[in-house]
């Protein structure tokens, strides 16, 4: 399922190839329009490129702002009484996934990759399944259709498009015809289709339909040499997630903010890295946080957040939502590596705050933007102990080990 834009066609998002990222990101509307989902000349609103970076290359700040008062890890948790929640988790959902390895290689290296169905069975139904189990806390799961992974021949049209540069609509037609030949129909027999194909002539390494955050199904197109983070990026789009966004507010003052790209956001939608999970706003939008792990509070006080990716059995709050100014709220989470998971934040752990628009009483989590208060190579959106966000009478202050204080004066 994909979100339908004003022109009546599915909305697409893509991950740029490393080559494209190095030379400057280029819009891929024309490429997306040829994938068999858009009419010729159609321009899907919001189709754009996302940045690629590596969080692990950024050292963490060692200092605390001058004059800051640190909150002790033993601070008593008080206040922030829960109000009527604005969020509800999704029901347990099983998404039927079929992966097609389209044999459209024009050189040996890609041909070897596309012939290795065992590799993709492990990648999709072992590695990705384990990652998604942790991210969604068991609320969303991909299950294979039959064997799960199938090798399909490429038509003459697909080979011609591949040799000419970036494949167009023919790969989708080939995959559809192949699956129908097996008696498999979209919607009736499977929900999500992943096509692995040679696309090294494209400006993107992955492309995905932007779907219903609380639904299931979708489509992705990925080069076989792409890393797992690209798959997580595109499957995020299937669940309505956008390219991560940042609002830069120097020194935490919300009156002087500018919008930035999301390459510093710890999410596969930010820097295409499977070493991190989705953000709190992405998980809230998709329904991946348990009701007991979320709190909406109009009050003041101090509480301790549990690391976002601590085991489900650990309990604790993973997302705190508080009112901001008129028409928006703030969502707060605590990111810290948990064993081998979310290790991409190892050099920049800490509190993170996201600004979320509220329309007709409903928070628009999916389009939330991470608040960043400083720039530089060591800045990845973390609020170190003692750092604050100030918005009118509201102050959100980070403490140690997941402590956060909300005050109004």
C-alpha 284/C-alpha 248 separation (Å) is 22
Residues 247 and 257: beta-carbon distance below 8 Å? yes
DSSP assigned state of 329 = E
Each of the 409 residues of the chain gets a pLDDT tens digit; together they read 333 333 233 456 666 654 344 333 333 333 333 343 333 333 333 333 332 332 333 333 333 333 333 333 333 467 899 999 999 999 999 999 999 999 999 999 999 999 999 999 999 999 999 999 999 999 999 999 999 999 999 999 999 999 999 999 999 999 999 999 999 999 999 999 999 999 989 999 999 999 999 999 999 999 999 988 999 999 999 999 999 999 999 988 888 899 988 888 999 999 766 789 999 999 999 999 999 999 999 999 999 999 999 999 999 999 999 999 999 999 999 999 999 999 999 888 999 999 999 999 999 999 999 999 988 777 789 999 999 999 999 999 999 999 999 999 9
In contact, 352 and 383? CB cutoff 8 Å = yes
Q: Where are the beta strands (DSSP E) in 311-402?
A: 319-323, 328-335, 350-359, 362-363, 369-372, 388-391, 394-398
Break the chain into its structural domains and give their ranges: 55-89+243-408, 91-238
**Tokens standing for residue 270:** 């930010």
Instruction: Report residue 321: phi and psi, to 5°.
Output: -115, 130
Q: Is 220 left (phi over 0), alpha (psi -120 to 50) or beta?
A: beta
d(CA 45, CA 4): 10
What is the distance between the alpha carbons of residues 93 and 96, in angstroms, rounded to a whole number? 10
| Tokens encoding 361 | 């009483």
Output the CA torsion sign for 105, 111, 117, 123: negative
125 — phi, psi (to 5°)?
-105, 5
């Amino acid at each position: 399922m994909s979100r339908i834009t004003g022109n009546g066609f599915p909305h697409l998002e893509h991950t740029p190839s490393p080559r494209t990222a190095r030379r400057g990101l280029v819009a891929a509307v024309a490429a997306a329009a040829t994938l068999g989902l858009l009419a010729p000349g159609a321009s899907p609103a919001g189709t754009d490129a996302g940045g690629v970076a590596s969080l692990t290359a950024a050292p963490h700040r060692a200092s605390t702002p001058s004059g800051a008062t640190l909150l002790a890890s033993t601070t008593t948790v008080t206040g922030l009484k829960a109000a009527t929640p604005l969020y509800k988790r999704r029901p347990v959902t099983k998404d039927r996934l079929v992966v097609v390895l389209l044999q459209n290689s024009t050189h040996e290296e890609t041909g070897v990759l596309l012939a290795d169905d065992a590799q993709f069975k492990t990648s999709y139904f072992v590695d990705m399944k384990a990652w998604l189990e942790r991210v969604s806390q068991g609320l969303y799961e991909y299950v294979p259709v039959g064997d799960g992974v199938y090798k399909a021949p490429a038509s003459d049209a697909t080979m011609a498009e591949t040799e000419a540069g970036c494949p167009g609509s023919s790969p989708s037609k080939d995959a559809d015809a192949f699956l129908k030949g097996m008696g498999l129909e979209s919607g009736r027999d499977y929900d999500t289709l992943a096509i692995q194909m040679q696309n090294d002539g494209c400006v993107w390494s992955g492309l995905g339909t932007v779907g219903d955050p609380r639904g299931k199904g979708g489509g992705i197109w990925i080069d076989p040499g792409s890393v797992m983070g690209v798959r997580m990026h595109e499957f995020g789009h299937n669940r309505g997630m956008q390219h991560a966004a940042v609002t830069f507010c120097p020194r935490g003052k919300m009156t002087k903010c500018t919008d930035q790209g999301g390459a510093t956001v710890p999410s596969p939608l930010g820097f295409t890295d499977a070493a991190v999970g989705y953000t709190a706003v992405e998980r809230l939008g998709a329904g991946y946080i348990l009701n007991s792990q979320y709190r909406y509070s109009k009050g003041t006080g101090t509480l301790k957040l549990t690391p976002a990716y601590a085991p489900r059995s650990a309990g604790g709050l993973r997302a705190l939502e508080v009112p901001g100014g008129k028409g928006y709220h703030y969502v707060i989470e605590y990111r810290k590596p948990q064993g081998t998971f979310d290790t991409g934040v190892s050099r920049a752990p800490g509190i993170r705050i996201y600004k979320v628009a509220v329309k007709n009483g409903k928070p628009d989590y999916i389009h939330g933007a991470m608040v960043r208060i400083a720039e530089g190579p060591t800045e990845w959106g973390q609020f170190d102990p003692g750092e604050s966000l100030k918005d009118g009478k509201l102050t959100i202050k980070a403490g140690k080990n997941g402590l956060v204080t909300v005050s109004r004066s």
